[in-house]
């Protein structure tokens, strides 16, 4: 502090062209600087527009001219950031910055900033308004009166719309700090009940983008008040930018954590897939051998009970062979042989095949597929998917029902839906049924629908499930992209 006082003292001597024995500076009733000694000659300097009273002790009486007085005023405006209220303002600014860096909520930072402005910053009222860019409208966010009472609710109803260019819009869009009149001419009549007739305003912004304004008022303003409000405006802008950056960082970290978990799960699934494929491959040959031996035993067996046991073994071997086949098929990469074909002919082929294998006598089948509709896909793979869906639907309608297969097309996609009137799929299980080894059937392997999903994904399409719309049953929809 002493080095700054010496600089100020020397500047005063150079400006006045006279040696000074001492100098006293008062702000209100408080002495903010006492330097040197008191001499016999004492003079008080009247500095217009300054909040300081200056008493000097020159070696002889002097009469400063207007140019010297203006120079002294500028000197004290510069040094006011260290002395008097500005010193407290700088300290309060540091406190708020500490709050910001401790990652407190932006609402808490703004509350502290507004409170500081009216309790220790020398202002009697203060508020913050944010810009709605779409409506070109400022809306009240938070406000404090002279007693430091925070009243955000009433102030939140205050709106300022920029119908025409005015002083306030210039301050905000051109990043200025200035005093404006709260009257009709400036479109600020709505804030008159909250602020003095003249209010000091500084713009808030992030980078080059304006985001709002900081307002404060008092009876008389000085240059140090403008500098102080600019300081707090910068702190407020910084806190908002810091808060948004921290939030974006937290979201990014959450995304990274999710991606890391997904990658780990995917890696585990790959390992499990390889292990399952290896186990399935190792099981295939023994199962074939067991199946062959049971056929020979069946030919030589005489005892009816032995024949029955052999039949059970054959059924279980057949079931295990089907499971092993599904695992091997699911673990392999899906290679496609794309060709153009009639979707209607494929649907008819699958329906006829299922009709021969299952009892259709109690199921009403409806097909709505345009015979002219053609798709580009792997015919055998799509047949496999359609066969799985129709078989599942038939198995769901053990007591009869309706099966509907229909197709439609849009500019970019062809959709094929299979709808039944069975029990349907519960909402909470609609995503799970496409996971490997998850099944709602008592005898299912849990690989049919996941394989269908994999085949459709290989085509660049998808398979989704929903309600049939009749209050019962389910609808599976295949989505195929159009090619060419």
CA 452/CA 385 separation, integer angstroms: 5
Q: What confidence tier does 305 reach under pLDDT thresholds 50, 70, 90?
A: confident
The length of the chain is 484
Among residues 312, 399, 378, 390, which one has the least CA distance to residue 348? 390
**Residue 141 clears pLDDT 80, i.e. is over it:** yes
**Residue 324 clears pLDDT 80, i.e. is over it:** no
Q: What confidence tier does 1 reach under pLDDT thresholds 50, 70, 90?
A: very low
The pLDDT of residue 282: 67
Q: What is the pLDDT of residues 166-194, one digit of tens each?
A: 777 788 888 788 888 877 666 677 788 88
**Residue 310 clears pLDDT 90, i.e. is over it:** no
CA 446/CA 458 separation, integer angstroms: 20
**Residue 85 clears pLDDT 60, i.e. is over it:** no
Q: What confidence tier does 122 reach under pLDDT thresholds 50, 70, 90?
A: confident
The pLDDT of residue 359: 58
Contact 25, 85 (CB under 8 A): no
The pLDDT of residue 167: 77
The pLDDT of residue 137: 86
CA distances from 169 to 87, 176, 201, 480 (A): 31, 10, 11, 53
Lowest pLDDT segment from 97-106, 227-236, 328-337: 97-106
**Average pLDDT of span 270-294:** 68
Q: How far, in whole angstroms, is CA 474 from its chain's centroid?
A: 35
- Please name every residue paired with 378 in a beta bridge, in sequence order, or none if there are none: 338
**SS3 assignment for the chain:** CHHHHHHHHHHHHHHHCCCEEEEEEEECCEEEEEEECCCCCCEEECCCCCCCEEEEEECCCCCCCHHHHHHHHHHHHHHCCCCHHHHHHHHHHHHHHHHHHCCCCHHHHHHHHHHHHHHCCCCCEEEEEEEECCCCEEEEEEEECCCCCECHHHHCCCEEECCCCCHHHHHHHCCCEEEEECCHHHCCHHHCCCCCCEEEEEEEEECCEEEEEEEEECCCCCHHHHHHHHHHHHHHHHHHHHHHHHHHHHHHHHHHHHHHHHHHHHHHHHHHHHHHHHHHHHHHHHHHHHHHHHHHHHHHCCCHHHHHHHHHHHHHHHHHHHHHHHHHHHHCCCCCCEEEEEHHHHHHHHHHHHHHHCCCCCEEEEEECCCCCEEEEEHHHHHHHHHHHHHHHHHHCCCCEEEEEEEEECCCEEEEEEECCCCCCCHHHCCHHHCCCCCCCCCCCCCHHHHHHHHHHHCCCEEEEEECCCCCCEEEEEEEECCC
Average pLDDT of the chain is 78
CB atoms under 10 Å from CB of 449, counted, come to 24
The pLDDT of residue 414: 92
**Residue 121 clears pLDDT 80, i.e. is over it:** no
CB atoms under 10 Å from CB of 138, counted, come to 25
CB atoms under 10 Å from CB of 366, counted, come to 10
Q: What is the pLDDT of residues 3-46, one digit of tens each?
A: 556 777 788 888 888 888 888 887 666 666 778 887 788 888 87
Q: How far, in whole angstroms, is CA 334 from its chain's centroid?
A: 36
Go through 206-232 and write b for each residue having 16 or more CB atoms within 10 A of its CB, e for each that does not: eeeebbbbbbbbbeebbbbbbbbbbbb
CA 429/CA 102 separation, integer angstroms: 44
**Average pLDDT of span 319-348:** 80
The pLDDT of residue 241: 76
CA 267/CA 246 separation, integer angstroms: 31
CA 106/CA 206 separation, integer angstroms: 14
The pLDDT of residue 360: 59
φ and ψ at residue 36, rounded to 5 degrees = 80, -155
Q: β-strand 401-409 against 363-368: which pairing, if any? A: parallel
The pLDDT of residue 341: 92
Identify the residue whose tokens are 């392997």: 445
Among residues 476, 297, 316, which one has the least CA distance to residue 393? 476
The pLDDT of residue 138: 87
> What's the sign of the alpha-carbon dihedral 456, 460, 466, 470?
negative
The pLDDT of residue 353: 82
The pLDDT of residue 84: 45
CATH class of 338-481: alpha beta
**Residue 204 clears pLDDT 70, i.e. is over it:** yes
Q: What confidence tier does 2 reach under pLDDT thresholds 50, 70, 90?
A: very low
> What's the sign of the alpha-carbon dihedral 93, 99, 100, 104?
negative
**Average pLDDT of span 410-421:** 90
CATH tag, 85-249: 3.30.450.40
Q: Which residue has the higher pLDDT, 269 or 377?
A: 377
Q: What is the pLDDT of residues 291-303, one digit of tens each?
A: 777 777 777 777 7
**Residue 162 clears pLDDT 50, i.e. is over it:** yes
**Average pLDDT of span 51-80:** 78
CA 103/CA 113 separation, integer angstroms: 15
The pLDDT of residue 89: 52
Highest mean pLDDT among 32-41, 122-131, 140-149: 122-131
The pLDDT of residue 407: 92
**Residue 49 clears pLDDT 50, i.e. is over it:** yes
The pLDDT of residue 484: 61
CA 415/CA 382 separation, integer angstroms: 12
Among residues 341, 360, 340, which one has the least CA distance to residue 352? 360
**Residue 91 clears pLDDT 50, i.e. is over it:** no
The pLDDT of residue 248: 76
Q: What confidence tier does 135 reach under pLDDT thresholds 50, 70, 90?
A: confident
**Average pLDDT of span 458-480:** 84
Q: What is the pLDDT of residues 235-265, one digit of tens each?
A: 788 777 777 777 777 787 787 777 777 666 6
CATH fold, domain 260-331, is Helix Hairpins (1.10.287)
CA atoms within 13 A on the CB side of 380: 4
Residue spans per domain, the chain: 2-79, 85-249, 260-331, 338-481
């Amino acid at each position: 502090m002493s080095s700054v006082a010496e600089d100020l003292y020397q500047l005063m001597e150079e400006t006045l062209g006279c040696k000074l024995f001492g100098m006293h500076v008062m702000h209100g009733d408080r002495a903010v600087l006492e330097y040197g000694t008191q001499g016999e000659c004492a003079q008080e300097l009247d500095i217009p527009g300054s909040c300081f009273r200056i008493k000097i002790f020159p070696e002889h009486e002097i009469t400063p001219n207007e140019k010297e007085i203006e120079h002294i005023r500028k000197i004290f405006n510069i040094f006011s950031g260290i002395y008097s209220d500005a010193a407290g303002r700088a300290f309060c600014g540091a406190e708020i910055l500490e709050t910001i860096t401790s990652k407190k909520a932006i609402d808490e930072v703004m509350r502290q900033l507004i409170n500081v402005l009216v309790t220790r910053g020398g202002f009697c009222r203060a508020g913050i308004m944010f810009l709605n860019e779409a409506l070109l409208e400022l809306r009240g966010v938070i406000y404090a009166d002279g007693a430091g009472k925070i009243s955000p609710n009433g102030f939140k109803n205050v709106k300022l719309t920029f119908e025409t260019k005015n002083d306030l819009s210039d301050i905000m869009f051109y990043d200025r700090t200035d005093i404006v009149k709260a009257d009709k001419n400036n479109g600020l009549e709505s804030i008159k009940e909250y602020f003095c007739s003249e209010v000091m305003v500084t713009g808030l912004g992030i980078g080059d983008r304006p985001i709002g304004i900081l307002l404060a008022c008092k009876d008389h303003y000085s240059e140090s008040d403008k500098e102080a409000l600019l300081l707090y405006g910068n702190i407020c802008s910084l806190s908002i930018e810091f808060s948004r950056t921290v939030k974006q960082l937290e979201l990014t970290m959450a995304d990274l954590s999710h991606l890391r978990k997904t990658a780990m799960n995917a890696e585990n699934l790959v390992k499990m897939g390889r292990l399952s494929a290896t186990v399935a491959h190792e099981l295939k040959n023994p199962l074939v051998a067991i199946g062959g031996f049971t056929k020979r035993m069946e030919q030589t067996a005489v005892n009816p009970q032995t024949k029955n046991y052999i039949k059970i073994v054959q059924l279980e071997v057949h079931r295990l062979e089907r499971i092993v086949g599904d695992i091997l098929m699911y673990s392999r990469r899906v290679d496609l042989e794309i060709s153009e074909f009639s979707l209607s002919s494929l649907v008819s082929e699958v329906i006829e095949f299922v009709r021969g294998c299952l009892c259709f006598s109690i199921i009403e089948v409806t097909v709505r597929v345009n015979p002219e509709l053609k798709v580009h896909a792997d015919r055998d793979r799509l047949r496999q998917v359609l066969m799985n869906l129709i078989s599942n639907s038939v198995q769901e309608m053990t007591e009869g029902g309706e099966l509907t297969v229909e197709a439609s097309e849009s500019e970019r996609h062809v959709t094929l839906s299979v709808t039944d009137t069975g029990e349907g799929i519960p909402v909470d299980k609609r995503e799970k049924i496409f996971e490997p080894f998850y099944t709602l059937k008592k005898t299912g392997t849990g690989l049919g629908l996941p394989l269908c999903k994999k085949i459709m994904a290989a085509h660049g399409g998808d398979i989704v499930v929903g309600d049939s719309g009749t209050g019962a049953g389910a609808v599976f929809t295949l989505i195929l992209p159009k090619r060419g």
